């Protein structure tokens, strides 16, 4: 039994070999019942979530550009 909390996306500055630039990050928190799940299994699950989110890409649109978000207007 576990609960995964996903925080709001925000920019954080990172330093890559002397080049500083913002990257978008989210905070992940996992709580779990130690009587049901051990810490190793919970850590492995959270690392897999991190890996899958890090590899996520938006579907490509014609012309090689990422598809823009869909916005609907009412009137």
44 domain-assigned = yes
Q: Is residue 64 part of a domain?
A: no
Asked whether residue 73 carries a pLDDT value surpassing 70, the answer given is no
Which tokens is 33 given? 């019942």
**Please, which pLDDT band fits residue 21 given cuts at 50, 70 and 90?**
very high
Residue 57, pLDDT score? 80
Buried b (16+ CB within 10 A) or exposed e, 18-38: eeeeeeeeeeeeeebeeeeee
Indicate the pTM of the whole model: 0.58
The reply to whether 42 falls in a domain is yes
> What is the extent of the structural domain holding 19?
2-54
How confident is the model at residue 67, as a pLDDT? 54
- Residue 6 located in a structural domain: yes
Total domains present in the chain: 1
Q: What band does 58 get if pLDDT is binned at 50, 70 and 90?
A: confident
Residue 41 lies in a domain: yes
Answer yes or no: is 75 within a domain: no
Please list, in sequence order, all residues whose beta carbon lies within 8 angstroms of the beta carbon of residue 5, skipping any fewer than 6 positions away.
27, 28, 29, 30, 31
Stretch 44-49: mean pLDDT, rounded?
A: 92
């Amino acid at each position: 039994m576990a609960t995964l909390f996903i925080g709001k996306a925000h920019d954080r500055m990172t330093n890559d070999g002397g080049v500083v630039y913002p990257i978008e990050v989210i905070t992940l928190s996992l709580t779990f019942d130690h009587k049901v799940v051990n810490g190793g299994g919970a850590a492995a699950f959270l690392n897999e979530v991190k890996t899958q989110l890090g590899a996520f890409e938006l579907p490509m649109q014609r012309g090689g550009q990422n598809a823009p978000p869909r916005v609907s207007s009412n009137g």
